[in-house]
Amino acid sequence: MQTGAALSDNMMGAGEFAADGTEAGTQYLTFICAGEEYGIDILRVQEIKGWEGATHVPHTPAYILGVMNLRGLIVPVIDLRTRFDLEQRPFNASTVVIVVRVRCSLAEKTVGLVVDAVSEVYTFPGEAILPPPEMGERIDGACINGLASAGDTMVMLLDIDSLIASSIEHI
C-alpha cells in the first residue's frame, strides 16, 4: 500500500507541474495502435516487453488475452485493438506489451497492454494539451484525457486508470 501512495503522489506531482507550467511538462510514452498514436503518462509505465503469449482465462471479454507471468506476478493482458474495437491483425515482431501500473478499485494493479509498436517519448506542456473531442462510437470518450500534436501527428492521451478500470471491472 505504501508504494501505492508513493505512486499516486508521484502522479499528482507530475500533473501539477504540467498545469502551472513551472516545469517543461509531462512526459508521455506514445505507441501505435491501428495507425493511430496514443500517449500515456510515462510515470505509469513499468516496463515494455515482447509478446510471449498469455494463458487464456475463461468467461472474460475477447480483449482480455489472458494472464501472463511477470517475474512471479500474475498480470492480465489487454489487447488494445480489440478493446477499441479496431480491426484485428496477427501479432508480429514489433508487437509489444506495455506494462502499466494503474489505480483501480482502490488498489494498485499491474496490467499489460498489447499494442502494435512503441513510438516515442514526448514532453507536452500543460497548455499544449487540448480537450478531448467527441469521439463518436469508436472509442469511449471517458478514456481520453486530451489531444496533443507532435509534429504532423495528433497524439491521443489516454486516461489509463479509467481505461483499465472499465476493462477489467465490467466483465
60 binds another protein (CB under 8 A): yes
Are 115 and 33 spatial neighbours (Cβ–Cβ below 8 Å)? yes
3 binds another protein (CB under 8 A): no
Sole binder of another protein in the list 56, 88, 94, 154 (CB under 8 A): 56
Tally of CB atoms within 10 A around 74: 11
In the chain, the DSSP E strands lie at 26-33, 36-41, 45-50, 64-70, 73-79, 96-104, 107-115, 117-124, 144-150, 153-158
- C-alpha grid cell for residue 76? 492480465
137 binds another protein (CB under 8 A): no
Are 78 and 60 spatial neighbours (Cβ–Cβ below 8 Å)? no
142 binds another protein (CB under 8 A): no
**Which positions from 95 to 124 touch another protein by CB under 8 A, shown as an x/- string?**
--------------xxx-------------
55 binds another protein (CB under 8 A): yes
Sole binder of another protein in the list 66, 125, 126, 132 (CB under 8 A): 66
149 binds another protein (CB under 8 A): no
Number of residues that bind another protein (CB under 8 A): 24
73 binds another protein (CB under 8 A): yes
Give the pairing of strands 45-50 and 96-104. antiparallel
Are 30 and 17 spatial neighbours (Cβ–Cβ below 8 Å)? no
What is the binding site for another protein (CB under 8 A)? 53-60, 66-69, 71-76, 109-111, 168-169, 171
